[in-house]
Structure 1
């Protein structure tokens, strides 16, 4: 859903303009979290998050895009990103996951593989607080994360679910910062991730 934010035209597709951010810094990658798929196509939330991530790339703050989410989310974001002009060689797909914890785990694996340490994290504003807490705990020291939320209208049901999940965030403090294997091990043991 559109939120009244300004857009710039790029071909036949709208791409959200980037609000002012630390433009003197260059980041290794922009990590975007999937937000669902509807009938094989990116949901409105996924598409808005992706367009926000692409706006960061278009402002030359990074040239690399890392996609996280389910297999379907990653694939539809990849297809859409290439349609919007992002080069194939600048797009990196994480292993599929079904939770924000899994997104952060597989993003860290990809960051280690690529040797990246400075990232922009893109997800919805309603999801950013929890996602940022998870990514900070999962990545640990040695990684710099700049949050960059997308803004879209969502249902009260989605907001309520997010509030319920956010209540669990303090449990992350049980883990040493950067101990991605221990965090993922518990997530797997609880059956919330594969």
Structure 2
């Protein structure tokens, strides 16, 4: 009974009804000799199903996220400093500016690592809109609230993308003679980040510390095939990073 109730609730609160309607209308149009509109609707329904189902997107995201493993205790102790990359802020809350959902996990991980092995934290992230508070300053405030000493935080507030993160952080590292860093960002963003940092930071050892893994590690089951709205966010992240990886490799 529980499985039936779960199936019904997941089906009704998912893109499945929309996918089925689009598919049936598309097939109906084919029978009515409206081939173009029929094919378009069938393609849209197929795309929507793949983009919202774990059976497709989790496999793609898993491959992207597992380009690098979780940092080992040995490497965590070895790194000279932490470098935390920005990933957006939310400016429309009643509490003022707060970290976005994804970078919030990065911040918590950074604080966790800091408590184990206290060392300087370099935060890289400017303000996409000039009149906004920078990502770095928002993250710094959160880290301090989590017990990080404010004197151990260095903010870089000029960068607006991953390449600029690397370039501006490079300047800060050179000032202080740092030759070994622990790079902290979301697992889906680590592949592109490592490519850019290794390209720009000659002579600096970069230790990846991916966090915020989103792809499910569960074995496939019946519910794996039911489309869900939150998988569309995973698809968006995977697509953005895939395009970003291609673009950065061509440009840099």
Superposition pairs for residues 91-106 of structure 1, below 5 Å?
91-106=153-168
Aligned partner of 1:33 in structure 2 is 85
CA separation of 1:162/1:22 partners in 2, compared to 1, >3 Å: closer, same or farther?
Answer: same
CA contact (8 A) 1:74 1:96 kept: no
Give, in whole Å, the separation in 2 of the partners of 1:163 and 1:68. Answer: 22
Moved segments of 4+, more than 4 Å: none
Aligned partner of 1:68 in structure 2 is 124
CA separation of 1:28/1:38 partners in 2, compared to 1, >3 Å: closer, same or farther?
Answer: same
Aligned partner of 2:180 in structure 1 is 118
Aligned partner of 2:171 in structure 1 is 109
RMSD: 1.9
Aligned partner of 1:15 in structure 2 is none
Residue 170 of structure 1 deviates from its aligned partner by 2.4
CA deviation map 1:14-53 (0-9, x unaligned):
xxxx864315843221001011111221011111111112
Aligned partner of 2:111 in structure 1 is 54
Give, in whole Å, the separation in 2 of the partners of 1:164 and 1:150. Answer: 21
Name the one with the larger helix percent: 2
Residues 1:146 and 2:207 aligned together: yes
Give, in whole Å, the separation in 1 of the partners of 2:84 and 2:141. Answer: 14
Larger Cα-atom Rg:
2
Name the one with the larger strand percent: 1
CA contact (8 A) 2:102 2:186 kept: yes
Structure 2 gaps of 5+ residues are 1-69, 92-96, 128-133, 215-232
